[in-house]
Every structure is written in structure tokens, then in C-alpha cells.
Structure 1
Amino acid sequence: MAEVRPYRSTPVFDQDTLPAALRARHTTKAGVWGVIRVIEGQLQLTWLDPPSVLLLDALTPGLILPQQPHFVTPLGAMKMQIDFYDQPPPGS
């Protein structure tokens, strides 16, 4: 069985370079899963449907399901990256 790998990853963003679009409500496309990986610091992930919040850090990634509305909020200095998958990522 082939290893599931992301088909695309964002650049590494910090608290200053994190795009405004990621700080506001947005979704992934149909058939696309996202995994938010915090490299340094902390980031708050807010899902809007169903409503919930998760504090992300280097040990706690955030899973975004296809078309799931969400946004992120940096909590001080941080670095993060998002990996995109066209099938459920490992550990999901």
C-alpha cells in the first residue's frame, strides 16, 4: 500500500506573514483535507461547523476536513505550515 503524502504544502508562515484569508472564515475544497502543523509557538484553530476550538502546538496538529469552515488565530510568536491531501491523511 502506498504511503499517503501531501500533494501540496504552504510556505512556512509566522505571526506576521500569516495571510489574512487564513485568519478569516474559509474552507478547503471538496475532496481536500488539510493538516495544520505548528513548528514553533501556538495557534488557535476554530472550526465553525460543528463549533469547536483546539489549541495547536508542535505536538498537536489540526485536521481540517473537506469543505469544513474554519479559521486560525496566532497566539503570540509562532511558525506554521499547512499540508494538503487528496485522501484522508495518516492518523485522521
Structure 2
Amino acid sequence: MAEIRPYRSTPVFDQDRLPRALRARHDTKPGVWGLIRVITGQLKLTLLDAAGAPVAELILTPASPGRIAPQQPHFVTPIGPMQMQIDFYDQPPP
């Protein structure tokens, strides 16, 4: 069985260079899964329903990444100093 690998990854962002677009409501495209990997520190991931209401808040750490399903509205908020990167997949990430 072939190993599941991302087809694209973002640059590494820190709390100062995290794009505004990621801090505001957004979602992945149809058929695109995201895996948010925290390299250092912590990051809050807020998952939203279709109307934009929060349905879950998760604290992501290096040991606890965040998985984003296709078209799942969400945004992230840094919790102090941190570094993170997002990997994109065309199937559910490992």
C-alpha cells in the first residue's frame, strides 16, 4: 500500500507571520484535507458550522495536530510564541 503524502505544504509560520486569512473564517476546497502541524508552542483551532457558529475549540501542540475535513469552516489563533505548518492532502491524512 502506498504511503499517504501531502501534495502541498505551507511555509512555516510563527505567531507574527501567521497570515490574516488563516486567523479569519475560511475552509478547504472540496476533496482537500488539511493537517495543521504545530512545531513549537500552541495554537487554538476553532471549528465552525455552516452558519459560522463555533462547534469545537481544540488546542493543538506538537503532539496533537489538527485535522481539517474538506470544506470545514475554521480559523486558528496563536497562543503565545509558536510555529506551525499546514500540509494538504487529497485523501484523509494519517
Identify the TM-score tier after normalising by the shorter chain. Answer: over 0.9
Separation in structure 2 between the aligned mates of residue 2 and residue 37 of structure 1, nearest angstrom: 22
RMSD between superposed Cα atoms in Å = 0.8
Q: Does 1:82 align with 2:86?
A: yes
When the two structures are superposed, what TM-score results if normalisation uses the length of structure 2?
A: 0.94
Which ranges of structure 1 fall in alignment gaps of 5 or more residues? none
> Which residue does 1:20 correspond to in 2?
20
Superposed, 1:1-92 pairs within 5 Å as 1-49=1-49, 51-90=55-94
Question: Runs in 1 of length 4+ with deviation above 6 angstroms?
Answer: none
> Identity over aligned residues, as a percent?
76
When the two structures are superposed, what TM-score results if normalisation uses the length of structure 1?
A: 0.96
Which ranges of structure 2 fall in alignment gaps of 5 or more residues? none
